[in-house]
Every structure is written in structure tokens, then in C-alpha cells.
Amino acid sequence: MSFANQVAIVTGASSGIGWELAKTLAAKQCAVGVVARRKDKLAALVREIEAAGGRAAYACADVAERHQVVPAIHSLRDQLGPIDLLIANSGVGMATTVEPQNIEDVEQMFRVNTLGVVYSIEAVLPEMLERGSGHLAAISSLAAYLGMPGESGYCASKAAVNSYMDGLRIQLGGRGIDVTTVCPGFIETPMTEANNFKMPWLMKADKAAAMIVRALERKKKIYNFPWQLSLLIKFARWLPDWIVERALAGKSGVRKENPDGFSHCLPPSSTACSSR
């Protein structure tokens, strides 16, 4: 599949992997609409794409707010044309605490990580169904496969994304719409620079974006990477709880929220990680 002359929307595009995804798609002659909260960053991204000969537009929105993100994506459609590809990339990561419980943080992770995907798809799916073509992609996390101590909210919000996308893929089968769930591991971004623990198989954002775009070109249903970490996580699901707890004991990071709300790294215990 070629992205030339198609229109793509990327949410959470003002830094990290969303930024690199937009640039990678534009380099393949795809018109790109970018969505995030920081207008200055989005404007800079559009200028960079246009300077390289690409076509792009931006719209500011918080994906956790349905009344913001749906009109924002519609405005990009009006500027660029019918949307062929949506990459719902926005997300946020914060630790889950029990003494005291930080319910507001957990709620925010579900609003951004899960409902942000739902709202973004809402903005594009009706017209894709009408045309009988399109591609929906969500950036989830390898953390979706394992509930980890201190990260219950983050892992659960990403697991919900996986289940939602699985159901959509089956439901839309035969309707001409492809559905892809992308589950990355650690990605090197300004947010992960603050983490003070070892991040296995850490990958640069531009390399991750290139791998994701290749997976989308092949219309993969589920794309887990890197494969080494994916296997490790799936193996850990079969381990006794005490082994997982001991393996993660003593690891900590900086509790920090990405200002655009996007994170898909695999967070150790009591870590807030923002990797996109």
C-alpha cells in the first residue's frame, strides 16, 4: 500500500513519536493533519513539513474532550480532503497510588488514553463507512498485556484500547476499513529522558515511526515491537505475582505528565512515563 496522495490525521503530534509519524507520512507524499494542545509546536511541525515540500495542516484540541477533538478533526478534513488514515496516538502515563488513591489521575488516563481514541475514531468513521474505505490505527502499549504494580490505571487504559480496537476490527470486517493496534515498548523522547531507570530495548522516535508506518503499509492487525520486549512481557503474564513484584521492586521514575497527553512506554513500578 502507498500513502501517496492520501490524507492522514495524527493526534498527539506536537512531539515524540506523533511528530515523527507526521513527518514520515509527509515524506511519503501523504497530506497530514496534526492534532494536539500546543499550537506553537503544531505550527512549527507544519512549517517543517511544508519546507520539505509536503502538505500539512493543524488543529488544536484536547483529545479527552469530545467537543474539542471531533470538530478539530473535521476542520482538518475540510482543509485537506477526505481522511484515509487516522492514527490515534495521544496518551498519558501516571503512576497509580493506593496511599492515598489518586483516582483523578486514573480518570485522566482513561479519558485521554481510551476515550481519546474513541472520540478520534468517531470523527472519521462515518465517512469511511460511507466511502467503504479507510484505515483506523491506535497507538497502545506493550503495557496493555500485563497489569503491573503501581501502574494499574495506565495498563488498564491501554488494555481497554486493545479490546476496543479488536472488536472494531472484527465488526468492520468486510466493510473496506482496516484496523491496526500498535503496541510499542520504550521510545526515546524528551519525556523518557527524565526516567532514572534502565529502559530495555530503548528506541529512537524516528525509527519507531518508520517501523509503525511500514506496519500500516502492510495493514497489520496488531503490531507489537520490539519483539524481544513483547516476548518478555507475554512470558511475564505466566509468572507468579511475587516474582513480578520482586522484579519491579525498587524501580522508580519521575512522575511527570506530557503536556500533550501521550505516553506508551512500558512503565516500571511507581513510574509515570511519557514516551511519545
Element counts in the chain: helices (H) and strands (E)? 9, 9
Give CA angle at 153 (255, 198), nearest 5°: 45
- Rounded-to-integer distance, Cα 191 and Cα 197, Å: 13
- Residues sharing a CB contact under 8 Å with residue 16, sequence separation 6 or more, in sequence order: 187, 189, 190, 191, 205, 258, 262, 274, 275, 276
- Rounded-to-integer distance, Cα 268 and Cα 174, Å: 40
Question: What are the distances in angstroms from CA 122 to CA 63, 74, 92, 115, 177?
Answer: 12, 10, 20, 10, 14
- Residues sharing a CB contact under 8 Å with residue 130, sequence separation 6 or more, in sequence order: none
- Residues sharing a CB contact under 8 Å with residue 103, sequence separation 6 or more, in sequence order: none
Of 275, 10, 268, 241, which Cα lies nearest the Cα of 155? Answer: 268
Which is the catalytic residue, given 58, 119, 145, 154?
154
- Give me the residue label for grid cell 469530545: 66
Q: Is 58 an active-site residue? A: no
Could you give the count of Cα atoms lying within 13 Å of 227 in the half-sphere of its Cβ? 1
Instruction: Give the H/E segment covering residue 239.
Output: none
Q: Which residues are known catalytic residues?
A: 154
